[in-house]
């Protein structure tokens, strides 16, 4: 019997069906080991020796693999065809060898698609494990560990509020922060455009002013309204005739099939998918045998796939859409060993697969791959120049006509940002023609700052700079979100206060390690390792030799020295020149003290040097003029019933309102969606919870209120979310009863209907939704089946999806907790005492 090990159960089931008798196929469920999250897992003094630890949730699966391995004649490692797949195979082999269960004959096979032909062919071409790829994996894993476990303690002690830093994560964050700085430094410039709507042969078209008073007009040439109106008058007064018509043929070639990076970019543009969602769906399509492997830098397709694509094009279109020769694309990937075939359908005769997001992503892959083998599009670009009688004023119209669509009949690549002109159609015009003038326009514009990064444009930029690798982008961006270093609004990345401060700290004290060139060079070195051109331990030694002393140096500095250095470094952002000669650090409250950056328990802020006499403060994120200053409490008015002052204040968790003082004071946070705060709204907020009425079935009250995690309804210990603050004051009895019923019937309510503190996302292995909850004994995570208490060392607001999933898997591996009531069944009195430690342990686990 031959034992085959793959990653996923779906893949195992399909491959076992293809291979038939004589084979046993088991899944490892991803990685089986990792470096334990503790100091000392990598020892630089012992040649970077690594201490690996088996995942707790993999114990059962590893036992099954071990048991089958003891009976097997040979072991076939058939994990994914990339560095991570090679690493998983290596870990499985190492575990079996340690358990003395490794068969005498071990083979490694790879296939790019889970089809019968691809799998059976791969079995005829086994090889040994690729030691270079394994070394590259170890080097990358050790680097990430050393940076995280060496730099993070520095952050915790010297930069309050910082959670972690990472080799690629921090550089990606710097890209987002740098773009925000560009936007803040940008100064808009006014300019005007003058154009005319003309008509010929019943077709209207637009022509723009390109010459005025004999001078060429560029985009920014007309900078004020007066000049614009003069130009408009000149166009209105002139009679324009065609001076020249220039027609140029234009050919557009199709883009190559998807790589990992381009798939993430296009799915973000066209489908609105995050990088992590794209990769999760692509993984499932791959395991279902619908597409080829989705982690690749390659853009070429196998010869049989190209033949299949050309046949599909001929069937769908006519022969003119099939180019004379197959198109061949070449990869720009630096590491040839990891440049596999492009992402494509396994069968070009199948234009649909799956449903929902799976169907949408498959359609994108199918169209892109098919279009890559289609004929080029032929277009014609026409430029018409028209002048008035004086020759001093000229208009230009540009248009584009598709003569033959070619690949554009099926697919056109998306763009990150809006493009200008000029795909408009023009009427047929000849020299001497005088199109009719319908209207003249003078429009004011302002230059725009560079756009914030979307997921697509950020992934593209990271790839251009060589930061990280496409297979890691999804996890990197998700970490930035999980750590609250960035926020995403309208699909654009905004740096959060903590992210901005962290970037400033790293730029000031670890500039080399967050520089784009250094990070890209390190990636090249890792590629050299996987290509057999460098030794992994020497690369690590060169990095560690400089990095370790630098962290030790910063650790020796006092927090006050760190803050002073950041104050100086951030001066252009925090205290920009006002342009009137005044001191930008002068306190606006007392007019005497000077503002400076200060470090507090909950992060950095700007404060007056005259503290405590002057209590003026400003949040760190409100750089320069970028926000309202906190000059202290503001009285909104008096409560209409009690006559007490209602005061607006700012606290640790943001703005809030207060009425009264001491223990008897009533307080309410100010919701972000509440709109403009006035006395009436303040009175409403302080009156919460609002009783809607008694439930028609139970007779018990239904209330509406706002909690730490948003507006909600409550009834008999059951809760339901409300969409907005407005609904708290507007929801009636019928709607409230319906919402509570819907919440009670929704998934997971049987295990308790409390509102989650946070929804972390889908479990990376089971796809179940993971939620962070507040329990009787503290916060815990749940997937609806298994609850796992957070250890005290793990802060709830710093919890990542992967950490939560691992806690749940570890808890599930221990089996169901023993019920306390069992002690009563024992006739032996001493048993209760024996079970006491178990109860204590259970309490600790939650």
Task: Write the CA distances from 288 to 162, 282, 292, 346, integer angstroms.
Answer: 41, 10, 10, 10
Q: Which long-range contacts (CB under 8 A, 24 or more apart) does 119-123 make?
A: 119/15, 119/18, 119/19, 120/18, 120/19, 122/78, 123/19, 123/76
Q: Which residues contact 356 (CB under 8 A, 6 or more apart)?
A: none
- H or E element, residue 25: strand 23-27
> Six-digit token pair at 508?
């000031």
Nearest to 377 by CA among 414, 413, 403: 403
Which residues carry out catalysis?
293
- H or E element, residue 310: helix 303-316
How many alpha carbons fall within 13 Å on the CB side of residue 506? 31
Quick check: 501 and 567 in contact, CB under 8 A?
no
DSSP string, 825-842: G-S-THHHHHHHHHHHHH
Number of C-beta neighbours around residue 570 at 10 A = 21
From the number of C-beta atoms within 10 Å of its C-beta (0-12, 13-18, 19+), residue 330 rates as exposed
Question: What's the rounded Cα separation, in Å, for the pair 118 and 125?
Answer: 11
Query: What DSSP state is assigned to residue 253?
Result: P
502 three-state secondary structure = helix
> Six-digit token pair at 224?
């004020």
How many alpha carbons fall within 13 Å on the CB side of residue 390? 12
Question: What's the rounded Cα separation, in Å, for the pair 255 and 407?
Answer: 9
* Rg (alpha carbons) of the chain, rounded to whole number: 33
434 three-state secondary structure = coil
From the number of C-beta atoms within 10 Å of its C-beta (0-12, 13-18, 19+), residue 150 rates as buried
In three-state form (DSSP H/G/I as H, E/B as E, the rest C), the secondary structure along 154-178 is HHHHHCCCCCCCCCCHHHHHHHHHH
- H or E element, residue 772: strand 769-775
Quick check: 89 and 81 in contact, CB under 8 A?
no
- For residue 6, what are the β-bridge partners? 27
Nearest to 546 by CA among 44, 47, 37, 39: 44
DSSP string, 541-569: HHHHHHHHHHHHHHHHS-HHHHHHHHHHH
Question: What's the rounded Cα separation, in Å, for the pair 759 and 771?
Answer: 5
Task: Write the CA distances from 71 to 25, 64, 96, 126, 739, integer angstroms.
Answer: 13, 11, 12, 21, 57
> Strands 645-651 and 617-619: what pairing?
unpaired
- For residue 206, what are the β-bridge partners? 197
Nearest to 52 by CA among 1, 13, 87, 17: 87
Output phi, psi for 212, to 5 deg: -145, 130
Question: What's the rounded Cα separation, in Å, for the pair 293 and 338?
Answer: 12
Instruction: Quote the longest CA-to-CA distance of the chain.
Output: 114
Number of C-beta neighbours around residue 264 at 10 A = 30
Quick check: 798 and 760 in contact, CB under 8 A?
no
């Amino acid at each position: 019997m031959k034992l085959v090990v793959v990653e996923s159960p779906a893949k195992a089931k399909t491959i076992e069906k293809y291979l038939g008798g004589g084979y046993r196929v088991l899944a490892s469920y991803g990685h089986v080991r990792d470096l334990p999250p503790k100091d000392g897992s990598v020892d630089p003094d012992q040649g970077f020796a690594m201490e690996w630890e088996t995942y707790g949730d993999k114990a059962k699966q590893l036992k099954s693999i071990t048991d089958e391995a003891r009976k097997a004649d040979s072991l076939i490692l058939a994990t994914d065809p990339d560095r991570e797949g090679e690493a998983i195979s290596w870990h499985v082999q190492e575990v079996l060898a340690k358990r003395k269960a490794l068969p005498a004959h071990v083979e490694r096979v790879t296939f790019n698609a889970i089809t019968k032909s691809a799998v059976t062919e791969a079995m005829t071409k086994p090889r040994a494990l690729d030691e270079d790829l394994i070394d590259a994996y170890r080097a990358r894993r050790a680097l990430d560990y050393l940076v995280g476990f060496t730099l993070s303690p520095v952050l915790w002690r010297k930069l309050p509020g910082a959670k972690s830093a990472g080799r690629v994560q921090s550089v990606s964050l710097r890209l987002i922060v740098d773009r925000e700085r560009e936007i803040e430094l940008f100064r808009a410039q006014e300019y005007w455009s003058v154009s005319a709507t003309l008509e010929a042969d019943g077709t209207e078209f637009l022509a723009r002013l390109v010459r005025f008073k004999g001078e060429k007009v560029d985009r920014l040439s007309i900078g004020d309204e007066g000049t614009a109106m003069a130009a408009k008058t000149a166009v209105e007064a002139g009679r324009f005739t065609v001076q020249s018509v220039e027609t140029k043929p234009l050919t557009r070639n199709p883009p190559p099939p998807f790589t990992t990076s381009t798939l993430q970019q296009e799915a973000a543009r066209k489908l609105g998918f995050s990088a992590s969602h794209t990769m999760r769906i692509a993984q499932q399509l791959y395991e279902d045998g619908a597409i080829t492997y989705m982690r690749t830098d390659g853009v070429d397709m196998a010869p049989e796939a190209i033949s299949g694509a050309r046949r599909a094009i001929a069937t769908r279109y006519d022969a003119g859409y099939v180019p004379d020769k197959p198109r061949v694309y070449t990869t720009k990937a630096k590491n040839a060993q990891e440049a596999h075939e492009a992402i494509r359908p396994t069968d070009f005769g199948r234009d649909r697969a799956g449903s929902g997001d799976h169907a949408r992503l498959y359609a994108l892959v199918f169209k892109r791959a098919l279009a890559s083998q289609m004929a080029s599009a032929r277009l014609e670009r026409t430029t018409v120049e028209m002048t008035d009688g004086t020759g001093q004023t000229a208009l230009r119209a540009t248009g584009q006509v598709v003569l033959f669509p070619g690949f554009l009949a099926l697919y056109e690549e998306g763009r990150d940002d809006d493009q200008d002109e000029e795909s408009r159609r023009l009427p047929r015009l000849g020299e001497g023609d005088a199109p009719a003038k319908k209207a003249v326009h003078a429009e004011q514009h302002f230059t725009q700052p560079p756009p914030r990064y979307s997921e697509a444009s950020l992934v593209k930029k990271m790839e251009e700079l060589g930061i990280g690798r496409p297979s890691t982008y999804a996890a990197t961006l998700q970490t930035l979100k999980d750590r609250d270093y960035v926020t995403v609004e309208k699909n654009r990345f905004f740096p959060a206060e903590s992210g901005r401060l962290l970037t400033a700290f790293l730029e000031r004290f670890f500039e080399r390690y967050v520089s784009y060139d250094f990070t890209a060079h390190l990636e090249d070195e890792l590629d050299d390792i996987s290509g057999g051109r460098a030794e992994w331990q020497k690369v690590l030694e060169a990095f560690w030799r400089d990095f370790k002393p630098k962290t030790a140096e910063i650790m020796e500095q006092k927090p006050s020295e760190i803050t002073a250095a950041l104050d100086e470094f951030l001066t252009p952002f925090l205290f920009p020149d006002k342009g009137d000669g005044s001191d930008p650090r002068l306190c606006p409250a007392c007019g005497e003290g000077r503002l400076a950056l200060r470090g507090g328990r909950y992060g950095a802020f700007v404060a007056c040097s005259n503290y405590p006499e002057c209590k003026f403060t400003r949040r760190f994120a409100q750089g320069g003029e970028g926000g309202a200053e906190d000059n202290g409490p503001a009285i909104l008015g008096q409560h209409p019933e009690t006559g007490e002052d209602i005061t607006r204040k700012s606290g640790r968790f943001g703005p809030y309102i207060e009425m009264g003082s001491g223990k008897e004071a009533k307080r309410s946070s100010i919701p972000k969606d509440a709109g403009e705060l006035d006395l009436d709204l303040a009175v409403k907020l302080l009156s919460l919870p609002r009783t809607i009425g008694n439930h028609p079935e139970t007779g018990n009250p239904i209330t509406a209120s706002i909690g730490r995690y948003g507006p909600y309804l409550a009834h008999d210990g059951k809760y339901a979310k409300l969409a907005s603050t407005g609904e708290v004051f507007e929801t009636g009895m019928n709607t409230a009863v319906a919402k509570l019923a819907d919440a009670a019937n929704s998934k997971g309510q049987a295990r308790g209907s409390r509102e989650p503190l946070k929804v972390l996302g889908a479990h990376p292995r089971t796809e179940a939704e993971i939620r962070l909850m507040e329990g009787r004994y503290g916060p815990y995570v749940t997937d609806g089946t298994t609850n796992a208490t957070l250890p005290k060392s793990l802060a709830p607001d710093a919890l990542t999806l992967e950490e939560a999933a691992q806690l749940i898997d570890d808890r599930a591996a221990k089996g169901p907790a023993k019920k306390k009531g069992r002690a009563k069944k024992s006739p032996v009195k001493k048993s209760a005492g024996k079970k006491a430690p178990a109860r204590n342990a259970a309490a600790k686990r939650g």
